[in-house]
Chains A and B, each alone.
Chain A
Amino acid sequence: MIKSLDPRIAREQISEDNTIEPLTPMDNWETYEVFHQKKRGDQHMHVGIVHAPNPEMAMIFGMDQYGRRGITANIWVVKTSNVFCTEYEDQDMFATIPEKQYREAGGYKVMDKINKYKKANGTMVVRKEA
């Protein structure tokens, strides 16, 4: 028998020659991507994945792993196979040159501050996506 200081393991009376069956690919559930929104109106941020056999259970796991451990307004789960992505070898398509800085969306970084100021001064709040 496997000896363990953990009484839960000791109770199981697992024999020493207990063979461990390796997993086959179908033993694992598929993955869902989890998106977390901290406060209402914020963008949802990708935070990780969970394994689940269906969207409902992905939601349960996503809520616990990424939602119940901090400030959360909302959680999305999306089946990983439903996410379409670019190839890294095509990364050059995103290449830009220093002269084109005017095209970068840097101004959005201060939008939180602007909205806070406007709110404090009673002006209308600009939506982040605007």
Chain B
Amino acid sequence: MNTEAIKELLYKMADDLLIIGHRNSEWTGLGPILEEDIAFSSMAQDKIGQSLALFQLLHALGEQEPDTVAFMRNAKQFHNAHFLELPNGDYDFSLMRHFLFDTADQLRFEMLAHSSYEPLAKVARKIKGELKYHVFHGNTFITKLGAATEESHARMQSALNEAWNYALGMFEEGPFEKELNEAGTFEGEEVLKKRWQEAISPILIKATLIIPHQNTWEPKLGGRKGYHTEHLQPLVEEMSEVFRVDPSAEW
């Protein structure tokens, strides 16, 4: 087992989930209607929980305690894609990001449910139902808003245009693609990206939304290597503000 390769995979997944979980939780109390506020917040909570499960696997591989890893690093030490750290913007962008990321996340965990790295396969099987609800929620919103009124359609289309290159950045390849694939741990980002495109296309068609033309595609890369936008550091500071007051406190 190539521990370094597995750690790299776990870190990027855990950081994606922690950062999007935090971003989505910023909507708590400010959501468009009460019911959606509650649903979106509870999904944000699920994502933090999923990241915890992955940080625990990292801890078992010799990394520091989950809380320490989550709250004591600075932006440069995070491996999340740029997409997840972008500010929430309006609800249209947050929903579009939720739809694009969660579909990828569900497919990633689906692939990992058969991973030769059994602890990760076990996590993947455990959270299957949660992810199914998240994708169901995303799909419903996107299809309804995409095809509702002229305004909602225009807003969802512009959110998709804005999100697209960042979404492609989620599939940035790491240094261990070959090792992970050969060991049966994870088939790789290319395979995942292909499945993701196949999964989102029918939903976007139903929503009458159009994926930007292929010759404009320019994935936003660097996040996996610790290069981030200016938005991540303030997020990390806000997220860890209370923890850092007294890192040894018992909660």
Contacts and interface: CB of A to CB of B under 8 A. Distances in A.
B35 A68 contact: no
B30 interface: yes
B33 interface: yes
Interface in A23-58: 29, 50-54, 56-57
Interface in B33-63: 33-36, 38-39, 42-43
B26 interface: yes
Interface residues of A, number: 18
Contact of B35 (A54, A56, A65, A69): A65
A64 interface: yes
Interface of A: 7-8, 29, 50-54, 56-57, 59-61, 63-65, 68-69
Interface of B: 26, 30, 33-36, 38-39, 42-43, 133, 136-137, 140-141, 144, 238
A61 B39 contact: yes
Contacts of B26: 8
A57 B144 contact: yes
Contacts of B238: 7
Contacts of A68: 42, 133
A60 B39 contact: yes
Contact of B140 (A7, A57, A65, A69): A57
